[in-house]
């Protein structure tokens, strides 16, 4: 906690120092610019006031303007010069102590409406004393305000940090107890509306959940023995069912293999998924050679393949088909490439998969009674 407080104070102090330095530079630059602007404006006013007297060579009027400039405290020295550089009039402040100043020199010209005449120049020394006094006062006020602000921010963060750290310490202690299996925890963040309160509520709910899990674990152990017995009984039943199903499938496959007609099964993607012994004899393909292959690439002649695909698409989109559940005569293709007539009957069979079908085709070679096309 002390390291955190020191780190926060150091960060605030550095930030404040950087900002204060920037503000001081800005104040100094602004004051310097204001001083130059004031000196330039005064020089411009004096130039306008002296232009006519210098053109008329009115020494009394020139002296009057110079004396009047002495009423401005910031004017430390003023010299009115002739065009040849000789001093016509001057004023020096009676201040005995040396004072920093800036010098402004400006040429004086008189304009009679037709042309301008150079009539002289002024050399002005403008005091920095007032500017330095105002600047030092602003810098002091800025330093004091920023220092108080930094101390206030650091103190506030430290207080808030200490208050915020306590609930987290309680949460850490509570989690350590829960990992050891202890459930007697205390959380100071309960009831708060912020993230700390929500985190404390979550830890408390975790404690309650852990307690319920312990109770459930005891019930689970009691239930486990009974469940194992039920599983054993159910496993035996499933084993018998599987054997019966396999026996039924074997009997069905034996019936299909000994059928006089070829039996070919196709899935919705047009792949062959069933092929009995009679199909091998009629078409010349072994079962292991055709399973998984496209039906239209094996036993359907090329001239009928497009009609086959279009019929499949119509059935899949819900349209009626003219070949299902009826016996028709068409031509088929042997492995050798020979076309021959067959008698075909197709029946859709719903599979165990949801909304899935297979097509079971019963095929009889009738080439003995009908010649090939």
pLDDT reported for residue 294? 94
CA atoms within 13 Å, Cβ hemisphere of 189: 24
Average pLDDT over residues 185-208: 81
Task: Give the ranges where the chain is alpha helix by DSSP (H).
Answer: 2-56, 59-69, 129-179, 195-257, 277-283, 287-290, 302-316
pLDDT reported for residue 232? 82
How far, in Å, CA of 278 to CA of 158, rounded? 91
How far, in Å, CA of 331 to CA of 372, rounded? 8
- State if pTM tops 0.75: no
Least Cα distance to 300 among 309, 287, 289 occurs for 309
pLDDT (tens digit per residue) in 285-294 = 999 999 999 9
Q: Contact, 100 vs 74, CB < 8 A? A: no
pLDDT reported for residue 231? 85
| Mean confidence (pLDDT) of the chain | 83
pLDDT (tens digit per residue) in 223-251 = 888 888 888 888 888 877 767 656 655 55
- Whether the per-residue pLDDT at 5 is higher than 70: the answer is no
The secondary element (H helix, E strand) that includes residue 120 is strand 116-127
pLDDT reported for residue 284? 94
Most confident of 221-230, 244-253, 269-278, 306-315: 269-278
Q: Contact, 202 vs 175, CB < 8 A? A: no
- Which distant-in-sequence residues (6+ apart) come within 8 Å of 338 by Cβ? 372
Domains in the chain (CATH in brackets) are: 2-148 (3.30.450), 259-365 (3.30.450.20)
Q: Is 296 helix (H, G, I), strand (E, B) or coil?
A: helix
pLDDT band at 1 (very low <50, low <70, confident <90, very high): low
**CA torsion sign, 306 to 312 to 314 to 320?**
positive
- Whether the per-residue pLDDT at 46 is higher than 90: the answer is no
Least Cα distance to 62 among 5, 144, 142, 119 occurs for 119
Give percent of the chain with pLDDT exceeding 70: 88
Give percent of the chain with pLDDT exceeding 90: 18
Q: Contact, 275 vs 363, CB < 8 A? A: no
CA atoms within 13 Å, Cβ hemisphere of 168: 9
Average pLDDT over residues 309-320: 83
pLDDT, greater one: 159 or 350: 350
Q: Strands 357-365 and 116-127, how do they pair?
A: unpaired
Q: Is 271 helix (H, G, I), strand (E, B) or coil?
A: strand
CA atoms within 13 Å, Cβ hemisphere of 140: 6
What is the number of residues in the chain? 373
- The total of other beta-carbon atoms located within 10 Å of residue 363's CB is 22
pLDDT (tens digit per residue) in 94-153 = 776 667 888 889 899 888 888 888 988 998 888 887 788 888 888 888 888 878 887 777
């Amino acid at each position: 906690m002390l390291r955190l407080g020191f780190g926060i104070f150091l960060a605030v102090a550095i930030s404040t120092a950087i900002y204060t330095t920037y503000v001081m530079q800005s104040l100094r630059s602004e004051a310097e610019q204001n001083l130059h602007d004031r000196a330039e404006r005064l020089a411009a006013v004096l130039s306008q006031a002296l232009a006519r007297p210098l053109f008329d060579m009115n020494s009394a009027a020139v002296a009057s303007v110079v004396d009047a400039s002495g009423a401005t405290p910031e004017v430390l020295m003023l010299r009115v010069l002739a065009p040849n550089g000789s001093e016509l009039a001057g004023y020096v402040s009676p201040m005995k102590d040396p004072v920093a100043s800036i010098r402004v020199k400006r040429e004086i010209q008189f304009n009679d409406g037709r042309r301008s005449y150079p009539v002289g120049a002024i050399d002005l020394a403008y005091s920095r004393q007032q500017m330095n006094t105002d600047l030092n006062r602003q810098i002091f006020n800025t330093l004091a305000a920023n220092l108080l602000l930094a101390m206030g921010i650091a103190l506030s963060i430290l207080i808030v940090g200490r208050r915020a750290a306590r609930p987290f310490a309680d949460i850490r202690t509570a989690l350590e107890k829960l990992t050891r299996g202890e459930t007697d925890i205390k959380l100071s963040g309960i009831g708060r509306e912020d993230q700390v309160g929500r985190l404390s509520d979550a830890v408390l709910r975790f404690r309650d959940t852990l307690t319920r899990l312990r109770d459930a674990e005891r019930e689970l152990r009691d239930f486990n023995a009974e469940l194992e017995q039920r599983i054993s009984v159910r496993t035996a039943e499933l084993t018998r069912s599987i054997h019966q199903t396999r026996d039924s499938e074997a009997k069905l496959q034996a019936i299909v293999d000994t059928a006089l007609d070829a039996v070919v099964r196709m899935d919705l993607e047009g792949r062959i998924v069933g092929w009995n012994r009679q199909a091998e004899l009629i078409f010349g393909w072994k079962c292991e050679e055709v399973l998984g292959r496209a039906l239209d690439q094996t036993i359907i002649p090329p001239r009928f393949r497009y009609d086959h695909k279009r019929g499949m698409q119509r059935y899949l989109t819900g349209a009626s088909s003219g070949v299902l559940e009826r016996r028709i005569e068409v031509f088929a293709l042997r492995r050798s490439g020979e076309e021959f007539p067959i008698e075909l009957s197709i029946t859709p069979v719903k599979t165990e998969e949801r909304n899935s079908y297979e097509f079971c085709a019963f095929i009889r070679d009738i080439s003995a009674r009908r010649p090939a096309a």
